[in-house]
Amino acid sequence: MKVTLWGVRGSLATPGPETARYGGNTSCVGVVGRKGTMLVLDAGTGIRRLAASIPANVHRVDILLTHLHMDHIQGLGFFAPLYRPDFEVHIWGPGSATLGLQARLLRYLSPPLFPVHLSELSCKLVMHEVPAGVAEIGEFVVTSTLVCHPGPTVGYRIAEADGGVVAYLPDHEPALGTLTFPQLPRAWTSGAELASDADLLIHDGQYSASEYAGHCGWGHSSLDQTLAFGTFTEVKHLVPFHHDPGHSDDDLDRMTSQALDRSKPGYRVTSGIEGTTIEI
């Protein structure tokens, strides 16, 4: 499968010269299987450019939303296939204790926040509630479970038949409530099963270690915690993701270098940079 990072920024789209190298679009990752099945992980602002890359012969896309915070759905209304009658769009995402996925999405995809109502979209739209255990989407087996982040939030584990595994946990605070991390076995660590032995882990690394102290409980991880989580779950390749909007390219270079020096992970680490394609 091919994994392309179309948006790597967390919280808020951050265009500008100081973020041009890492990119300013919010969370969106494209995954294309060997048989052509196309998954879109989150619908941040990066999804607009992803849509332009879809081959003409593709008529179905599955969008896997981890949660419905704005930086993960803001691009949804600008996803061109939604307006094509020849297109089938499946949206997977979490409902809440009181509202289903569609009702929750309608809060954004309806006036006054958005001019077009969900019911006015031309495509064939299908909603799927998660966590859904294990689901098959084309050549992929997709596992979703709730993870530690404010509000209903899932992480995804995507396995290709006879192929690799990518785990996607863009907003995740597995260290919440622990004095040292990792402290507990995998069974007691949020997201550990999803990430276990993955070929590629795309994981929240929003803060520096010192910043995390002031943001404990906000649902994100420090780079050091992310690297520790990668070691703990024995992944082969880690992409720190969901960069804080306040971090410039130079900040990210420095923070990453310092965290790598401290952690010295025994696996490959590639900073999340918009436009990067990783083949598994």
Partner 1 sequence: MSTTKPIQVILARQLASSLAMPILLVDTEGTLIYYNEPAEAILNQRFEETGEIAAHTWSTLFALTDENRKPIPAQERPTMMALSQRRPFSRTVWMQCGLRDWKNMNITAFPLIGEGRQFLGAQMIFWEVEA
List residues near partner 1 by CB under 8 A. 94-97, 129, 145-148, 152, 176-178, 185-194, 196-197
Q: Please choose, from the candidates 125, 227, 176, 163, the residue with its C-alpha nearest in 3D space to the C-alpha of residue 35.
A: 163
Residue with the two structure tokens 């196309």: 38
The least CB distance from residue 4 to partner 1, in Å, is: 26
Q: Give the residue with the Cβ less far from partner 1, 6 or 156.
A: 156
The least CB distance from residue 247 to partner 1, in Å, is: 27
Q: How far is CA 277 from each of CA 101, 116, 151, 235, 270, rounded to the nearest angstrom?
A: 30, 32, 30, 18, 11
Residue with the two structure tokens 């009658």: 85
Q: How far is CA 12 from each of CA 70, 192, 229, rounded to the nearest angstrom?
A: 8, 27, 25
Q: Give the residue with the Cβ less far from partner 1, 152 or 230.
A: 152
The least CB distance from residue 98 to partner 1, in Å, is: 9
Q: Give the residue with the Cβ less far from partner 1, 124 or 186.
A: 186
Q: Please choose, from the candidates 25, 45, 16, the residue with its C-alpha nearest in 3D space to the C-alpha of residue 250.
A: 16
The least CB distance from residue 61 to partner 1, in Å, is: 26
**Helix pair 223-232, 249-263: axis angle to 10 deg:** 40
Q: Give the residue with the Cβ less far from partner 1, 41 or 198.
A: 198
Q: Give the residue with the Cβ less far from partner 1, 52 or 179.
A: 179
Q: Give the residue with the Cβ less far from partner 1, 169 or 269.
A: 169
The three-state secondary structure class of 51 is helix
The least CB distance from residue 99 to partner 1, in Å, is: 10
The least CB distance from residue 66 to partner 1, in Å, is: 13
Tokens of 127: 């909603």
The three-state secondary structure class of 217 is coil
